[in-house]
Structure 1
Amino acid sequence: MAVAALVLIAAQDRLLAKPLACPNNPAAANTISAEDLKSLAASGNSIDRAAALDRIVATLRDRGMSAGNIVDNLVSAYCPIVAANAALDDRQKATTVRSFASQASRAVYAPEEADEIILDVPLPPAAAKAINDKAKAERMSPQEWAAKIIINDLKTAR
C-alpha cells in the first residue's frame, strides 16, 4: 500500500487542476495521536520535525506495525492536514505531501545504526541547477558533489 500512496501523490502533479486526493485509510486516524499529527504539521525547523517523525515511527514499530503500513498510515494521516490548508494551492499541497512521503519513507526504512545521515535541504532552482552542472562536470551525482563540498568545507573550518 505504501507504493500505492506514493504513486497517487506523485500523480497529483500531473493533475494540478484537481484538488489533492488523499489516500483513503480511515485506520490512520486511530494509529497516530492528534498531538503527534500536530507536531508533524507544525511549521518549524526540519530537525524538530524529523525528531517528531522518528518518535512516531518508533511508536508504530513498537506496536508491531510493518514498515509499509507505517508509511501508509503516516501519509494517510498527514495528507488531510495539508489538503485543508487554505494557504497552499493544489500544486503546493501535492509537493508538500510528496516531500513528506519521501521523508517518512526514509525515516521508516533507514537502518537502525546509520553510517550516514540524510539531510533534506530546500534549494532555490538556480542553486540546484548550479549543483547539477558542477556535479555533471566532475562526473558525480549531485548528492556526491554536495557531500564532497560540505565535507571539504568542514575540514578547512577546523
Structure 2
Amino acid sequence: MHKIQFLLKFTFLLLTLVPAVAAEKFECTSPFSPSSPATLEQVTGLLPNANAMVDVGLLNTAISTLRRDGLSKVLIIDHFIGAYCTMIAGEAGLTDSEKTSLVQRFSGQATRLVYSLESGLDIIINVPLTPAVVDAVNIIAKRQGLSGPAWIEMTMDNALQQQRTARRQ
C-alpha cells in the first residue's frame, strides 16, 4: 500500500516537472542531468523511435539492460524521458500541447514500469475511468475506510474469488 502511494506521488512529481512548455514553443527540459551523453545514446539505441518507447516489452528489456549497467531508477526514468521528449519534439505534425501530453503520459508509464519491476510482483494496469466513476469509487472507498486504489484492488480480488467459486460449483 505504501509502495503504491509513493509511486503515485513520485509520478505526480515527475509529471509536474517535465516537460516544460514555453508560451510559444515546446521544449524538452528535465530536473535531472543525464549521467553521461553515452548513456542517453545507449537508451536511444535500445529504444530507437517513439513507437519503441511505448512498447512495454522493449521498455522492460531496456530497463533490465540499464539496471545491469548500474544505472539508478531515477536516471533510467530521466534518460527515457529525455530520449522520448527529443523524439517527440521532432514530430512536425503535433501541436505543442499534444507533444506535452504525450511526454507526460510516457513519463508516468516509464516511472510505473521502472518501479513496478523492482519487486517483480507488482503489475499496474491502466484503465481510464470517467470522473463520475472515480467520484463514486472514492465515496464508497472512504465509507469503508480505504483509499480508492485499495478499494479497487479489494473489489477485483472479491470478483476473482467469486469467479473461482462459481467455476468449482
TM normalised by structure 2 equals 0.67
Q: Does 1:129 align with 2:135?
A: yes
Q: Does 1 or 2 have the higher relative contact order (CA < 8 Å, sep 6+)?
A: 1
Contact 1:75-1:101 within 8 A present in 2 as well = yes
* SS at 2:160 equivalent: helix
In structure 2, which of residues 12, 17, 22 is the aligned counterpart of residue 8 of structure 1? 17
By how many angstroms is 1:125 displaced?
Answer: 2.8
SS of equivalent residue, structure 2 residue 47: helix
Name the CA shift for 1:87/1:125 in 2 (closer, same or farther; >3 Å): farther
Matched, 1:30 2:36: no
Q: Which amino acid aligns with 2:47?
A: D
Q: Distance in 2 between matches of 1:134 and 1:37?
A: 44
Measure, in 2, the Cα distance between the counterparts of 1:113 and 1:70.
16
- Distance change in 2, residues 1:155/1:36 (3 Å): same
8 A contact 1:31–1:73 mirrored in 2: no
- 2:157 aligns to what? 151
Structure 2 counterpart SS, 1:128:
helix
Unmatched runs of 5 consecutive residues or more in structure 2:
1-9, 165-169
- Partner residue, 1:75: 81
**Total equivalences in the alignment:** 147
Which amino acid is the alignment partner of residue 57 of structure 2? Answer: A
Aligned to 2:167: none
How far the C-alpha of 1:95 sits from its partner, in A, is: 3.0
Q: Which amino acid aligns with 1:8?
A: L
For the aligned residue pairs, the C-alpha RMSD in angstroms reads: 3.2
TM-score with structure 1 length normalisation?
0.70
Q: Deviations over 1:32-77 (max 9, x none)?
A: 24562434345xxxxxx32221111111122222222211110000
Residues 1:102 and 2:108 are matched in the alignment = yes
Gaps of 5+ in 1: 43-48
SS in 2 for 1:109: helix
Structure 1 pair 89–126 and aligned structure 2 pair: CA distance change class (3 A): farther
| Further displaced range: 118-127 or 55-64 | 118-127
- What letter corresponds to residue 70 of structure 1 in structure 2? I
